[in-house]
Structure formats: structure tokens, C-alpha cells
Amino acid sequence: MPPPPKVLKRRDVPSLAKYINSDDCQNVVLMLGAGVSTAAGIPDFRSPKTGLYSNLARLNLPHPEAVFEINFFRSNPVPFYTLAHELYPGKFRPTLTHSFVRLLSEKGKLLRCFTQNIDTLERIAGVPPEKVIEAHGSFASQRCIDCHTPFDGHRMKTHILEKRIARCDRCKGLVKPDIVFFGESLPKEFIESMMQVTEADLLIVMGTSLTVQPFASLAEFTQKSCPRVLINLDRVGDFGSSPDDVILLGKCDETVRDLCKELGWLDELMELWDATAPAPSPVEASPKAKTGAESKKKLKKSVPNAKDSRSKKKQHRTPEEQVQDEVEQLTAAIEESLALTDDKDAAQPDKVQDAASPPVESVDKVDLPQKTPTDSKSEKKL
């Protein structure tokens, strides 16, 4: 039986909401993992059949992790560009959880958001870039792996979407997004920001297994008086060892929705999330399309039918059902793209085939900031 909480009244959502709304909670630190983005249709890494590593087997790699090894990339960039084509920002919509991060920022309570994800959905959701620390890099920038000359973002997007491998204008070296590969150093911004966790008066960890170091060790940097919240499908790390640890097992979006309802922020959350909806296509926005839509609307009023009933039901679908529809559509599109050829000779050096997509898992040779006993909850080494 854990000791009674010291800061929170109880280890539950109502007590957590009361604390967040109080003046005592002004510096919230978030730690986000792949589970935050699965509701957007982005697969996680290890789920059987649907995980990224499972789909990578179709590319005949020596091992799934090879796609994120810098030496393998130098010899064969095709597999990574294949994944980049499927993962590239713009294909996925931020989730309710991403909008919650922005809402915390707008409430003036977000100190820092550390994310393991490379999908840039925090940025797309409108979280201020200076509040986001992408521990494993992201697709937001790119450069030559040899001379390190930056490469234009618009050109990179064109290359990836057209399945062409980008090369440096200066030295003709390979260009890759600033995603941390095995054997590369972590971003300087991450290393320099790690100790900010000691300033937190609330830590929320969402959608991560807390197995990848040194990211996982951030949860140990909090002061002993700082409540820690885990929102995840499974219990991970040492959560439950401190008096003010709150463990909320379940899907991130559902738990965030319940928390915002208790906070009185639900309407604001939904407004922010609605604003992330994709803009209508040119065909949908054209005058001709509008005229056609108006004609159909008049026809529906005069001749009701079964299709009208289905449309009315669709108008009253819950946000969860809308998200599920989008996830199913994105998943179907990815599965269609994953219809890879069995011809091993089909892949050319500068031509990319379609496939799935995974991120970074760990990094070698990193100089980390030193903790003091007052900086963290334990003396465990990184």
C-alpha cells in the first residue's frame, strides 16, 4: 500500500484537475511517446503485423533497426526514404492529446514538452516551437550527412513525396532529415533542457514505454514534491513509487478528454482540435462544387431517403468516432502503399518503393548533465 499523497488530495482525475487549476501548478512538463500519435493513424514500432518494424521486414533489411543506422543509410538510403514517404508531415492530423498540449501552453502552464516522436504533430497542433524539445529530432529540418549543409525544406518535401533521394548541392552527399540515427548524438537542445524537469511542479508522461534512454530518465529528475502523472495503456517505469504518483491507464485521447472535462476546458480543447482539421480540397471549395452541393441539399429536403438518414447520423458522430474514421482511412491508405513488389532487383539507387515507417529508439555516446540528490527522485544512473 503506497503512502498517502502529500500534494494531491487523492490520486484521481478530480484531484489532479483541482491541482492543475490552482496557483500551485504553473510549470507543467510533458513527456510524449509514440502512443500519443497512434490515434492519428501513425503506427507504433512493435505491434504485431501493424507495427513499423513488422512492416519493415518487407524491405529485406538485415534487421529492422538498420533503417535507422547511419552506416546502412550511407550504403542504401532507399529504405529510409521509403519510410519517410509514408511518415512525412502533412499526411496526419494532430490528436486531442496534441491539442491538449497547446491548451496547456495557452493557459500559461506549459514549461516544456519533451517528445520522442519525429512526426512534428506538436508543431502542427500549434504548440509554440520554443516549448517543444524533440529528443530524437524530427522532419522539421534536414542537412547533408557529409558537409552538414542545410537543405531547403520545400525541396526536401518534393523529393520525398516524389520518391526521389535528395543530394547536397555542394558536395553531392546524401541528405536526410534531422532525425537521430543510431550512432549519432542527441540534439544539443535536448541535452541542455534536461535539467528543466527539476523546475516542474507537475510531470505528465503519456504514451511511452519509458525504455529508451536517456529520455526515460527524465521522469527521475523531478523534485520529490512534484506530482507525476502516467497516462498510458500499461504501467511503466517506477510510477507508483512516490506518494503523488497518479496512474491513469487507458488511451491518451480518452483520458485527456476526461481530464479536460473535469478541468472545465473541454469546449476549448474541442475548438483547438477542430482547428486542426484538413482544409477542404479545391474541388470541394469550388463554386461549382458548392452549387452542386446546394442542389443536392434541396433535393434531400424534398425527397428524404435512407442515405439522408445516414448523413444525419454522421453529423452527430462523436469526436472519437470522427477520429476513428480518419484513422481507418489513413490506415487503408498506408496498407495500400505497403503493397511492395517481391522483385528484389526492382529497387534502384535513387528510386524509392512504398512501405511503412518507424522512428528512433536510442542513441550512443551522449554526454548528459549530472544530477544532484535534490534534482531527482533517485540516484539511478542514466
pLDDT in tens, the chain (382 residues): 668 999 999 999 999 999 999 999 999 999 999 999 999 988 766 555 555 665 676 677 888 788 889 999 999 999 899 888 888 888 899 999 999 999 999 999 999 999 999 999 999 999 999 999 999 999 999 999 999 999 999 999 999 999 899 999 999 999 999 999 987 889 999 999 999 999 999 999 999 999 989 999 999 999 999 999 999 999 999 999 999 999 999 999 999 999 999 999 999 999 999 999 987 755 544 454 444 444 444 434 433 444 444 444 444 455 556 656 655 665 555 445 444 433 443 444 455 543 333 344 434 334 444 444 334 333 333 2
**What residues have CB less than 8 Å from 155, skipping those under 6 apart?**
166
> Backbone phi, then psi, for 187, in 5-degree steps?
-60, 140
Q: Give the residue ranges of the annotated binding site.
A: 34-38, 44-46, 116-119, 144, 147, 168, 171, 208-209, 232-234, 252
Tell me the pTM. Answer: 0.74
Tell me how far apart the alpha carbons of residues 41 and 43 are, in angstroms, rounded to a whole number. 6
Q: Which triple of cell numbers denotes residue 203?
A: 510531470
Residue 11, C-alpha cell as written in the block: 490520486
Q: Which domains are seen in the chain, by residue range? A: 1-40+94-136+186-277 (3.40.50.1220), 43-91+137-179 (3.30.1600.10)
pLDDT score of 317: 52
In three-state secondary structure terms, 49 is: coil
Residue pair 17/262 in contact (Cβ under 8 Å)? The answer is yes
| Residue 53 CA: distances (Å) to CA of 133, 157, 322, 327, 353 | 25, 24, 28, 19, 16
What pLDDT does 177 receive?
95
Supply the pLDDT for residue 71: 93
User: Which of 97, 103, 110 lies closest to 28 in space, CA to CA?
Assistant: 110
Question: What is the pLDDT, as a whole number, of residue 67?
Answer: 87
Binding annotation for Zn(2+): 144, 147, 168, 171
User: Cell 494532430, residue?
Assistant: 94
Q: Cell match 487549476: residue?
A: 21
Q: Annotated binding residues for NAD(+), as ranges?
A: 34-38, 44-46, 116-119, 208-209, 232-234, 252
- At residue 57, the pLDDT reads 66
Q: Side chain identity at 338, as an amino acid letter?
A: L
Three cell numbers, residue 183: 550512432
- Among residues 136, 148, 159, 316, the one annotated as catalytic is 136
- Burial class of residue 270, CB neighbours in 10 A (0-12, 13-18, 19+): middle
63 has catalytic annotation: no
